[in-house]
Amino acid sequence: MSDFAKVVGAEGPVTVVGGRTRWHVGGEIHSGAREVHAPSGVVSYDPAEMTVAVRAGTTTAELAAALAEADQRCALPERGGTVGGSVVIGENHPEVLGRGWLTSSVLQVTYISAEGKVVRGGGPTVKNVSGFDLPRLIVGSLGTLGLVEEVILRTNPIPPRSQWVESHDAYPFTIASQVLRPSAVLWNGSSTRVLLEGHAPDVAASLNSLASIGSWSEVDGSFDLPQHRWSLQPAELNGCSGAFVASIGVGTVWRDEPQPRPVLPPSVIEISTRMKNNFDPTGRLNPGRSAF
C-alpha cells in the first residue's frame, strides 16, 4: 500500500487538492471533506521510449521543464496547476493538433480507490489493449472515481522549428486546406493566429502557402486565452460572437463566462450513474463534484 493510499484511507469524505487552478469545475466540494494532496515528482523518464512516469502532485510547469531538457513535450496544457489536476479535468492543450489529444496520451494511471486500495489501469508502453480502458475513464472524471497518484504519459519530440503567424484578413476556415498539419489555428473574430511547426523548410513552405489567402506576420505566441473552455463542433465556430478565442478545426472556444453544462441523454446519465456508484458506492470521493 502506498503512503498516498494510507492518507486517503477507506472512510469519510475526502477531496484531493492540486493547484486549485480549476477548483470550481464540476461543482462545489461539500464542506467537511478532508483535504489530501497527491505526491509529486517525476518517477522515471526515458526520452528514447517517449514516455514519462510522473506523480499527480507534480506541477505541469515542473514536468514541462523536465521534458524540455530532452527536447520533448507532452499533451498536457501548461496553464498552471498539477499533472493530476490536468488529467482529471481532461483539458487538452490549446495546440492539441500538434501535441495530440490528452486522452490518447495517458498510457497508465495509478489511483486510490474509494476503498483505499491502489488500482492500476492501462500499461507502460505506447501501445496497449490489455483489458478495459481505465485510463480513459479517469481522464476527465474530476476525481469522482478514484484519486490519481501517478500517471505514465506519452511524450513527443519538440519540433525543430515553431512559429506563430498572424493575419487580419485571412478567412480562418480555409487554412486547413492550405497547411498540412498546423499545430493550432486560433481565431478571435478579427484576427487569426496559426502555429506552424516542423522542419524549418516545411514551416517556410507552409507560410508560403498561407500567403495565397491573406497577409501574415510573425508573432511571439498565441492569444491570451479567456479562462473558460466551451466545447463546440468545429462546424459551429463561424457563428461565434462577442469576446472569444476559437480553436478552428477542433471546436474549443475560450470565453470569460463558463459554458452552461449540457444536458446529457438519459441513457448516458444512467451508465455514468452506475459508473460512479460502482467505483464510489458511498460517494466519499470529492463529494459535491460531478463529471456528468
Partner 1 sequence: MNTADDALLADLKRVLGDRVRADSAERALLRRDASVFDGGSAGPTCLCESTEEVQRVVRIALAHGRSVVPRGAGTGLAGGAIPLGAPVIISLSRMNRILEVDTNSRIAWVEPGVVNLDLTKHLTPLGYHFAPDPSSQQVCTIGGNVGNNSGGPHCLAYGVTNAHILAIEVVLADGEIVTLGGLDAEPSGYDLRGVFIGGEGMLGITTKVAVRITPNPPAVSTLLLSFDTPRDAAATVSAVIAAGIVPAAMEVMDQGITIAVENYVNVGYPRDAGAVLLAEVDGLPDGVAIDAQRISDIGREHGATAVRQAASDEERMLLWKGRKTAFGAVAQIAPNYYLHDTVVPRSKLADTLEEVYRIADEHDLAVVNVFHAGDGNLHPLLLFNGQEPGIYDRVHAAGAKIVEASLAAGGVLSGEHGIGVEKQPYMHQMFSEDDLDHQERLRHAFDPACRSNPGKVIPVGHSCADIQSLRNVPEEVWG
Judged by CB under 8 A, the chain residues 250 through 289 that form the site for partner 1 are 250-252, 261-262, 264-265, 267-268, 270-272, 274-275, 278-279
Q: Minimum CB separation from partner 1 for residue 35, in Å?
A: 24
Closer to partner 1 at the Cβ: 56 or 102? 102
The neighbour count for residue 291, using CB atoms within 10 Å, is 19
Helices (H), the chain: 3-8, 60-68, 83-89, 96-99, 102-105, 134-138, 200-210, 266-279
CA-nearest of 148, 136, 131, 78 to 106 is: 136
CA distance 43 to 50: 14
Per DSSP, the three-state class of 75 is coil
Stretch that binds partner 1, among 27-35, 73-81, 87-95, 187-195 (CB under 8 A): 87-95
Number of residues lying near partner 1 (CB under 8 A): 79
Question: Is residue 207 a contact residue for partner 1 (CB under 8 A)?
Answer: no
Residues from 147 through 166 that contact partner 1 (CB under 8 A)? 156-158
Beta bridge partners of 253: 230, 246
What are the two backbone dihedrals, phi and then psi, of residue 53, each rounded to the nearest 5 degrees?
A: -100, 125
Site string for partner 1, 163-192 (x = CB under 8 A): ----------x--x---xx-----------
What are the two backbone dihedrals, phi and then psi, of residue 223, each rounded to the nearest 5 degrees?
A: -65, 160
> Which of 19, 121, 182, 214 touches partner 1 (CB under 8 A)?
121
CA-nearest of 232, 229, 257 to 91 is: 229
Q: Minimum CB separation from partner 1 for residue 76, in Å?
A: 14
Q: Minimum CB separation from partner 1 for residue 114, in Å?
A: 10
What are the two backbone dihedrals, phi and then psi, of residue 176, each rounded to the nearest 5 degrees?
A: -60, -30
> Which of 37, 79, 117, 228 touches partner 1 (CB under 8 A)?
117
The neighbour count for residue 137, using CB atoms within 10 Å, is 15
Question: Is residue 201 a contact residue for partner 1 (CB under 8 A)?
Answer: yes
Rounded to 5°, the CA angle 209-224-80 comes to 115
Question: Is residue 234 a contact residue for partner 1 (CB under 8 A)?
Answer: yes
CA distance 261 to 234: 18
Question: Is residue 118 a contact residue for partner 1 (CB under 8 A)?
Answer: yes
The neighbour count for residue 241, using CB atoms within 10 Å, is 6
Site string for partner 1, 18-57 (x = CB under 8 A): ----------------------------xxxxx-------
Stretch that binds partner 1, among 17-25, 75-83, 216-224, 244-252 (CB under 8 A): 244-252
> Which of 29, 75, 83, 139 touches partner 1 (CB under 8 A)?
139
Pairing, β 72-74 against β 34-36: unpaired
> Which of 36, 43, 64, 137 touches partner 1 (CB under 8 A)?
137
Closer to partner 1 at the Cβ: 40 or 205? 205
Question: Is residue 100 a contact residue for partner 1 (CB under 8 A)?
Answer: yes
Rg (C-alpha) for the chain, rounded Å, is 20
Q: Minimum CB separation from partner 1 for residue 249, in Å?
A: 8
Q: Minimum CB separation from partner 1 for residue 31, in Å?
A: 26
